[in-house]
Amino acid sequence: MAYTKRFDGRKFDEMREIRTEVGVIPNADGSAMFSFGDTIAIAAVYGPKPLHPQHLQNPQKGIIRCVYDMLSFSVTQRKKPGPSRRSQEISKVTEWALSPIIEIDEFPNTVVDVHIMITQANASTRCAGINAACMALAQAGIPMSEMVSAVSIGKVDDKIVVDLIKEEEDYEDGEGATDMPMAFLSRSGKISLLQLDGKTSPEKLKEAIEAGEKACIRIHEEQVKALKKIKEEN
């Protein structure tokens, strides 16, 4: 059976409903929620603040530190609380995805802490996390050269699909499923996150990157809209 119709009836290039909210954690210097359909990520930013332990400080510039994790009950099979190899890797790639946009050279010896928590998961959690984190950084007033938006592009059987869901990730017929999370910067159009799991021809991979670029432009608009809204309210 070829994959001709998506499980949830979306068009192949259609994202799930995007929901955003800025300022979800009043204690934080900046915070935001970003959701693709059933996937919900919240992010909180604290800093720039003096970095402890001191030996981690960089006297030439501030640094960014990310922690990504999932609530134990955010997935169908309970996730053991605490960091796993997976969550440590995602924390690191998230940090790398955000690094090119933040300009904290003027804040030596400090750290900007970004905490991302997935409260409900249905694929694309790292992308939702990055999108929320970028909004939280903006709300915190961290100097940024541009914004970043992330999306997961899938190849399900031989179809390129935008913003795939768990069912599509687990698709096993035909060519199976390939998951390609990626992040694009809003001004330069550069790519700050790219991962791939699965099986794809080089040509389809390029096609997926093009589709990701388009989707990220849309996501960026949503992020900006949410930030403008909170600005007007205050």
Strand partners, 180: 153
User: Smaller CB distance to other proteins: residue 74 or 178?
Assistant: 178
Stretch that binds other proteins, among 1-9, 103-111, 134-142, 205-213 (CB under 8 A): 205-213
Phi, psi of 62 (to 5 degrees): -80, 160
DSSP state of 7: T
Sheet order of strands, 18-22 included: 18-22, 30-36, 39-50, 110-120, 63-70
Stretch that binds other proteins, among 7-15, 83-91, 123-131, 134-142 (CB under 8 A): 83-91
Within 8 A by CB and 6+ apart from 36, the residues are 15, 16, 17, 18, 124, 127, 128, 163
User: Smaller CB distance to other proteins: residue 35 or 200?
Assistant: 200
Within 8 A by CB and 6+ apart from 113, the residues are 45, 46, 47, 49, 65, 67
Among 190, 225, 229, 231, binds other proteins (CB under 8 A): 190
Stretch that binds other proteins, among 10-18, 28-36, 196-204, 220-228 (CB under 8 A): 196-204
User: Smaller CB distance to other proteins: residue 199 or 225?
Assistant: 199
Rounded to whole angstroms, how far apart are CA atoms 105 and 194? 25
**What's the closest the beta carbon of residue 96 comes to other proteins, in angstroms?**
5
Among 195, 222, 224, 230, binds other proteins (CB under 8 A): 195
Per CB under 8 A, does 207 bind other proteins? Answer: no
Per CB under 8 A, does 189 bind other proteins? Answer: yes
User: Smaller CB distance to other proteins: residue 10 or 115?
Assistant: 115
Among 114, 200, 211, 215, binds other proteins (CB under 8 A): 200
Structure-token pair, residue 44: 């909180």
Per CB under 8 A, does 206 bind other proteins? Answer: yes
Environment class of 215 (CB within 10 Å of its CB; exposed 0-12, middle 13-18, buried 19+) = buried
Among 38, 65, 71, 99, binds other proteins (CB under 8 A): 99
Per CB under 8 A, does 95 bind other proteins? Answer: yes
- From the list 81, 82, 84, 48, the residue with the least C-alpha distance to 65 is 48
Rounded to whole angstroms, how far apart are CA atoms 158 and 4? 9
DSSP state of 9: -
Per CB under 8 A, does 193 bind other proteins? Answer: yes
Per CB under 8 A, does 230 bind other proteins? Answer: no
Residue entry with tokens 């009043």: 26
Q: Where on the chain is the footprint of other proteins (CB under 8 A)?
A: 85-86, 88-89, 92-93, 95-96, 98-100, 180, 185, 188-202, 205-206, 209, 213
